[in-house]
Structures are given as structure tokens and as C-alpha cells.
Structure 1
Amino acid sequence: MTTKGRGTRAGTAAALVLALAGTSMEPAAAQQAQGNADDRVEVNAFTPTTVREILAPFGNAVAIADRKTPEGRPFVEASFGQLRVNMFFTACPPNQPDQCQGLYMLAFWPKPAERNPQNLAQAAGDFNRLYEFSKAGVSVAGEPFVARYLISDFGVKRGTLRREVTNFVVLAQRFNQEVVSPPAQ
């Protein structure tokens, strides 16, 4: 499957995520969001369970899988169509893996054969300047990636975290379109 095909499906998934998350800024949508009691539940630590709870309202728009790093640390892989977002638990106190205060979201793509590595790195750098709240780059293996870090040091609402995930999915789709497989010129 080509990267371009992935982008189309990821775009559809991103649109679906936006629709599910209710990102409209209209007053009626804002009132409806305020009425969702689950959105007001406080998240005080990131674990596979809390991430699943954050993602639950996305329903079939996201496939969730529990994974482990080579060192045995758990992480969650959330697939929005063809877009995979790995969610790593960070800032965990020693011997307290259920008290992690950070969540590192990472989306990456296979090395695009049709792209010059220097041009790809430059495009990722340009993307960083446009979207300062995230980090985009190219791994040593030549794989383009985009990442974002969330914290829950003193608690954060589930609804806020859902919006963060939605924003990240949209950002990753934009990265795919602008950096990984931009339209031919």
C-alpha cells in the first residue's frame, strides 16, 4: 500500500474523529460538551486503563491494542484508520507504573522511498516552525514522525485529553499531507 493511500484513509479517520469529538465552537456544541459527565472526570495518572477510557467515546473509529516496548514497558497503540499513534507512559515514579504523569504520543511513517532525505528533514523542520506545540522529525532510520507530550501532574479532565488526542490525530494527518507525501508540484 502506498503512503498516499494511507493519507486518504487517515484523512477520513481524522474527519471522523473530529466529528466524534465535537470540535465545533458553536454555543450549542459547547453546551452539549458541558453536559457530558464523562468529560469532567479527572485523570490523575496515565495507564493503559485511563487511555482506554479516554479513547472509548471514539468507538469503532479507533482500534486499541496493548503493547510492550522491548524493555517490557507497556504502551497503547491506537489506530485511527491507517494512522497508528503509539502512546507511551512517562514520568512514572520508581516502582509505581500506575502513577505515570506523562503521555508521549508518537505517530511515524515508513521511510518514503520517493523523498530525498535532506528535503524530508527540511520539511519536518518547517513543520516544527509552524506547529511549535509538537515535535516533528526524521528518525535515524529515515522514518518521518510527529510527537506530542501531555501531562497530568495535578489532574486533567478526560474531555480535555480527548481533545488533545483529536488535535494530535489532525496534526498527524496534516504532517502526512504536508511532509510525508505532499502533492506533486
Structure 2
Amino acid sequence: MTGTGRTIRRGGPLLAAALALAVSAPGTAQQQQGNADDRIEVNAFTPTSVREILAPFGNGVTIADRQTPEGRPYVEASFGQLRINMFFTACPPNQPTQCQGLYMLAFWPKPAERNPQNLAQAAGDFNRLYEFSKAGVSVAGEPFVARYLISDFGVKRGTLRREVTNFVVLAQRFNQEVVSPPAQ
């Protein structure tokens, strides 16, 4: 496989699972016309709308409703060992069910075997390769990758499912290339 003119290492079981989800998830070219659920508009992000987006992944994902320390709801979706937190943003004042943004964040514990400067450099390199995401290292030394989605004027469920699938694959690449790269 290639991406951005660079060869991408074939990954472990999570990458294979994510790719299998991408293939089996509704929305492939042949199914797109026949799957009415993929054509439903999502006009706001809520725990319910995110659960509806993730439902076709079936047993491939575990979903849990969570709250930030401030009491704001978010959804945690686990794809095997990969945990993605989905935060609702761009919410009009006093309208928590009308959020127009979804911030997807995957993070890993601080890798003890990695030099913090090398880890930060690797995250920066990842950002240059995958401009549509944000990778970095938190002040606590935890590597992360994030992506922001919007639904300002509505977006189809099928498109959002593809975005989630793409993010799962991206997070696996980040894990392989930045967090736990093979020994050289």
C-alpha cells in the first residue's frame, strides 16, 4: 500500500480489522445506492447520532458513554485495543444536542522506552505526512492523534462511517510509526 508517496508498513491485527470494517461497512460503491441508512443526514453530533454512525460496525466496536470532569458527555469507541474518544464541540449556548463538531482523539500511555524528543519529532513528521490530522505529545508525555469533523450543513452517515474508519487506520499507522515503531 502507498500513501502520500510513501510505502506504508502492513500492520498488525488492528489494521487488518479496520480494513475489514472498511470493506464490510455499508457504503461501498455497490451498496451505496441500496443502503438507505448511509444516506441519512446527520445535522448535529450527539451521543445518539454517534451511536447510530457506529452501529453498523457491530461487534467490531465497543461503545461507552462517558463524561468529562466538567460533566460534558462524550463517546468512547474501542476498536480492539484502540480507544477513540469522541468529543462534541461547536455547541450553541444552552443547546448541547446541536453540536456541529466532533473531535476524535486517540492517545497512548507514555512509552517508557522512547526518548521524549524523538517521540515529539516522530509526531511532527507524522503531521507532515498526514496533514488532515493532528498528532503530538501531551505535556504528560502521552502521544496522541486527533481529527476534527463538522456537520455544519449536514453530512451523510455513510460519509461519517468512512471518516471513522479512516481515523482508525490512521491511528494504527500512528501507533506503528510513532508510538511503537519497529526496532531499527
Q: Does the aligned pair in 2 maintain the 1:9–1:82 contact within 8 Å?
A: no
1: CA distance, partners of 2:24 / 2:85: 20
Partner of 1:87: 86
SS at match of 1:59: helix
2:159 counterpart residue number: 160
Q: Is the alpha carbon distance of 1:22 and 1:179 closer, same or farther for their aligned partners in structure 2, counting shifts above 3 Å?
A: farther
1:1-185 mapped onto 2 (5 Å cutoff): 8-21=12-25, 29-185=28-184
Give how far 1:32 is off: 1.6
Question: Following the alignment from structure 1 to structure 2, what is the Cα–Cα distance between the partners of residues 36 and 13?
Answer: 22
- Match of 1:17, SS state, is helix
Q: Contact 2:26–2:56 (CA<8 Å) still a contact in 1?
A: no
Deviations 1:126-152 (A, max 9, x none): 000000000000000000000000000
How many pairs does the alignment contain?
A: 174
Tell me by how many angstroms 1:31 deviates. Answer: 2.7
User: Structure 2: which 5+ residue stretches go unaligned?
Assistant: 1-10
Instruction: Supply the distance in 2 between the matched residues of 1:62 and 1:120 (Cα, whole angstroms).
Output: 28
Structure 1 counterpart SS, 2:92: coil
* Deviation for aligned residue 1:76: 0.1
Residue-by-residue CA offset, 1:79-129 (whole Å, 9 max, x unaligned):
000000000000000110000000000000000001000000000000000
Task: Indicate the structure with greater helix content.
Answer: 1
| TM superposition score normalised by structure 1 | 0.90
**Cα distance, 1:22 vs structure 2:** 6.0
Q: Percent identity?
A: 87
Q: Distance in 2 between matches of 1:14 and 1:180?
A: 18
Cα RMSD, aligned residues only: 1.4
Q: Secondary structure at the match of 1:174?
A: helix
**The 10-residue stretch of structure 1 (69-78 or 14-23) with the greater mean CA deviation from structure 2:** 14-23
Amino acid at match of 2:119: L
* 3-state SS in 1 of match to 2:162: helix
Q: Distance in 1 between matches of 2:150 and 2:35?
A: 22
CA contact (8 A) 1:16 1:61 kept: no
TM-score (norm 2): 0.91
Say which SS state the counterpart of residue 88 (structure 1) adopts.
strand
Q: Which amino acid aligns with 2:22?
A: L
